[in-house]
Amino acid sequence: MFESVQEARTLFERLGLPQEAIASGDLASRSPIDGTVIGRVAAASPDEVEAAIGRAYEGFLAWRTVPAPRRGELVRLFGEVLREAKEPLARLVSLEAGKILPEALGEVQEMIDICDFAVGLSRQLHGLTITTERPDHRMMETWHPLGVVGVISAFNFPVAVWAWNACLAFVCGDSVVWKPSEKTPLSALAVQTLFERAVERFGDAPANLSVLVQGGRATGEALVDDRRVALVSATGSTRMGCEVGPRIAARFGRSLLELGGNNGMIVTPSADLDLAERAITFAAVGTAGQRCTSLRRLFVHEDVYDRLVPRLKRVWSSVEVGNPLEGLALVGPLIDEAAYDAMQTALNDARSEGGVVQGGERLLADSFPDAWYVRPAIAEMPGQTPVTQRETFAPILYVMRYRTFDEAIALHNAVPQGLASSIFTTDLREAERFLSAAGSDCGIVNVNIGPSGAEIGGAFGGEKETGGGRESGSDSWRAYMRRSTNTINYGRDLPLAQGIDFSV
Ligand code: UN1
């Protein structure tokens, strides 16, 4: 029989973490696999958070003058440590967040990938040289380290989202204070320990480049309200972002928000339906529908609806649901009972709004009475009713028919969120229109792949209620630095800009 407490102990040992680290404290970690408490950690009080920020600030002051390529060396070593610890760390993520092992391995791989990306970046934190209107002058911009970066992360990507932020922050010369989800404190503790191993190998890094503060709301608030935290990067619900964003703005701090998504896909008459079926399945039921990029709204052209939707229903009724660390399950448990309740509420709303629902029922309650496994649900909706316009963090796919492409794009964009989107088509005109200024209004717009599972090389984030932040690849690093514009006069005169005459 599967023994989650034993598994947690074994993993802690394999990761080189002391068992005492998970033995006591007011914050309990429950494995969603069977609902058992697998460890405990101490939550940080607001005073402890304040002290932690002070330590991280000291770390920043020393780190900011270390040359960026040398800072990259620390992240390179961290990537090595992660490669060595990939399997046990992924198993711990499975155990604590409930995602299936292949996806947990993928999550750790995302951490390794962002390490590699950040190492390269550490030699490319370029500013521009800009032509100046004044003779014997030079104008340029320099990117400097920003300060302490606060990272607030969610349970569903308990390790990778921190890495996207932290690895960029470290090469940019910042220090990091991390408040992980109170549902996944052990994964965070493991990552912090692995990072410290890299710091040891590096040799002369300042102390407290990465500080972990565990806890719930009060811990997060202490981080959000502290003026020494130059940037707060927060991943979570739109409700959380609505509170956090204005509080940070009120003290003129910077925020990077990754909030809710309500991601859509359009399947047009020319689509390759075999590919579409596979992409829809991974995006809608993968991670038990608990990615911010999960597919939630599917718009199918009326000419292909009756070919595609019955196929999806067959997959939905047969997809293997079960223990994410054993067997062949593709769908693990929901994170907790509250997630199950929210799913049932959404399905009831869908029915009362005229939807026809297949699936959604609880599974495996006999073997796991304290865990929340569900059959993924597919809801055929008469239109884009209210329930389809809100994000429910569960495997529910709302399916709608459309007639004209204009109508499909309009429906697609008619929700408050704007994270990820996709289209399945082999028609060049449709694909390009979807990608154009008049197409999808999301931060991520894909053709012939689903909305989830982004690579780290692109900028990750979305518009509207998703919060507008961009993390990970492309030029996201700029959010973790401050820009100084420099004008240098190497002449013997003092010409003023705009030709102003101010001779005395
Ligand atoms: C998230 O769900 O918070 O694109 C992040 C994806 C992953 C990241 C998801 N690379 O699905």
Neighbouring residues of 297: CB distance < 8 A, sequence distance ≥ 6: 262, 263, 264, 265, 384, 388, 397, 398, 400, 412, 415
> Which residues constitute the domain of residue 127?
47-259+467-484
In this prediction, residue 327 carries a pLDDT of 83
326 and 422 assigned to the same domain: yes
pLDDT band for position 449 (cuts 50, 70, 90): very high
Given 292, 430, 442, 471, the catalytic residue: 292
495 CA from centroid of ligand 1 (Å): 52
2, pLDDT greater than 90? no
Confidence check: pLDDT of 1 > 80? no
218-263 confidence digits (pLDDT tens): 999 999 999 999 999 999 999 999 999 999 999 999 999 999 999 9
Residues 398 and 479 in one domain: no
Residue pLDDT, tens place only, 177-201: 999 999 999 999 999 999 999 999 9
Return the structure tokens found at 304.
């292909």
Nearest CA to ligand 1 atom 7: 453
Which protein residues are within 6 Å of ligand 1, measured from CB?
A: 156-157, 161, 235, 291-293, 452-454
pLDDT tens digits, one per residue of 53-96: 999 999 999 999 999 999 999 999 999 999 999 999 999 999 99
**Residue 419 pLDDT:** 98
Asked if residue 360 belongs to a domain, the reply is yes
**pTM for the full predicted model:** 0.97
Ligand 1: nearest atom to the Cα of 293:
11
The pick from 93, 257, 455, 460 for probing ligand 1's pocket by mutation, whose C-beta has the most ligand atoms within 8 angstroms, reads 460
33 HSE (CA, 13 A, CB side): 26
Q: State the average pLDDT over residues 120-140.
A: 98
Same domain flag for 344 and 229: no
Any residues with CB less than 8 A from the CB of 428 and at least 6 apart, and which?
Answer: none
| Residues contacting 470, CB < 8 A, separation 6+ | 256, 443, 459, 460, 461, 476, 479
Residue 286: its pLDDT value, please?
Answer: 98
User: Which of 99, 152, 153, 157 gets mutated to test ligand 1 (max ligand atoms within 8 A of its CB)?
Assistant: 157
Q: Quote the CA–CA distance of 182 and 45 in Å, as a whole number.
A: 14
What spacing in Å lies between the alpha carbon of 291 and ligand 1's midpoint?
Answer: 6
Within this chain, do residues 196 and 305 fall inside the same structural domain, yes or no? no
- Residue 293: enclosing H or E segment and its boundaries? none
Q: What is the mean pLDDT of the chain?
A: 97
| Parallel/antiparallel/unpaired status of strands 229-235 and 254-258 | parallel
Asked whether the predicted pLDDT for residue 355 surpasses 80, the reply is: yes
Largest CA-CA distance found in the chain, in angstroms, rounded: 90
Distance between CA atoms of 5 and 33, rounded to whole angstroms?
A: 11
pLDDT at 137: 98
Whole-angstrom Cα distance, residue 348 to residue 355?
A: 9
Strand partners, 399: 298, 380
Over residues 396-446, the pLDDT tens digits come to 999 999 999 999 999 999 999 999 999 999 999 999 999 999 999 999 999
What is the number of H-type helices and E-type strands within the chain?
14, 23
Task: Tell whether 300 and 442 lie within a shared domain.
Answer: yes
250 with 267, same domain: the answer is no
Residue 234, beta-bridge partner list: 152, 257
CA of 294 to the centre of ligand 1 (A): 8
Q: Rg for the chain (alpha carbons), in Å? A: 24
Ligand 1 closest atom vs CA 110: 10
Atom of ligand 1 nearest to the CA of 258: 3
Give the ligand 1 atom nearest the CA of 452. 11
Same domain, 300 and 398: yes
For 366, how many CA atoms within 13 A lie in the half-sphere containing its CB? 0
By C-alpha distance, which of 331, 340, 364 is closest to 101? 331
Q: Is residue 404 part of a domain?
A: yes
Q: How many residues does this entry show for the chain?
A: 504
Q: DSSP letters of 154-185?
A: -SSSTTHHHHHHHHHHHHTT-EEEEE--TT-H
CATH number, domain with residue 147: 3.40.605.10
**For residue 68, which amino acid is it?**
A
Give me the catalytic one of 103, 258, 277, 465.
Answer: 258
How far, in Å, CA of 53 to CA of 285, rounded?
39
Q: State the average pLDDT over residues 109-127.
A: 98
* Domain shared by 253 and 270, yes or no: no
| Distance of CA 452 from the midpoint of ligand 1 (Å) | 6
CA nearest neighbour of 478 among 121, 73, 21? 121
CATH value at residue 314: 3.40.309.10
Query: Which of 452, 455, 466 for mutating ligand 1's site (highest number of atoms within 8 Å of CB)?
Result: 452
Does the annotation count 258 as an active-site position? yes
Half-sphere exposure of 373 (CA within 13 A, CB side): 21
CA distance 405 to 411: 10
Res 298: pLDDT:
98
Q: Which residue has the tokens 């329930």?
A: 387
Å from CA of 488 to ligand 1 middle: 44
Task: Please check whether residue 57 lies inside any domain of the structure.
Answer: yes
Ligand 1 atom with least separation from CA of 460: 4
- Told to judge if 292 belongs to the known catalytic residues of this protein, a careful annotator would answer yes
Minimum-distance ligand 1 atom for the alpha carbon of 154: 3
Distance CA 247, CA 226 (A): 10
Cβ within 8 Å of residue 350, ≥6 positions away: 357, 379, 381, 385, 387, 388, 396, 398
**Domain shared by 85 and 173, yes or no:** yes
Across the strands, what pairs with 265?
298, 422
Please give the tally of structural domains in the chain.
2
The percent of the chain in helix, strand and coil, each rounded to the nearest 5, is: 40, 20, 35
379-417 burial, b for 16+ CB within 10 Å, e for fewer? bbbeebbebbeebbbbbbbbbbbbeebeebbebbbebeb
Same domain, 357 and 408: yes
Query: Strand 444-447 vs strand 295-301: parallel, antiparallel, or unpaired?
Result: unpaired
Q: Domain for residue 19, yes or no?
A: no
The tokens describing 321, both together, are 């649901």
> Above 0.90 for ipTM, yes or no?
yes
Query: Given pLDDT bands bounded at 50, 70 and 90, which one contains residue 504?
Result: confident
Do 267 and 248 lie in one domain? The reply is: no
Residue indicated by tokens 């989800």: 181
Pairing of strands 362-363, 420-424: unpaired
HEC sequence for 318-360: HCCECCCCCCCCCECCCCCHHHHHHHHHHHHHHHHCCCEEECC
Gap from CA of 110 to ligand 1 centroid (Å): 10
Residue 279 parent element (H or E): helix 273-285
Please choose, from the candidates 150, 151, 172, 174, the residue with its C-alpha nearest in 3D space to the C-alpha of residue 161: 151
Ligand 1 pocket mutation pick from 258, 291, 294, 466 by most atoms within 8 angstroms of CB = 291
Q: Euclidean distance between the first and final Cα of the chain, in Å?
A: 89
Q: What is the pLDDT of residues 286-339, one digit of tens each?
A: 999 999 999 999 999 999 999 999 999 999 999 999 999 998 999 999 999 999
Q: Which residue has the tokens 């970690």?
A: 29
Residue 332 resides in a domain: yes
To 10 degrees, the CA torsion angle through 285, 288, 290, 293?
A: -20
Q: Are 143 and 127 in contact (CB under 8 A)?
A: yes
Report the separation in Å between the CA atom of 453 and the middle of ligand 1, taken as the mean of its atom positions: 6
Contact 394, 334 (CB under 8 A): yes
- 282 in the same domain as 178: no
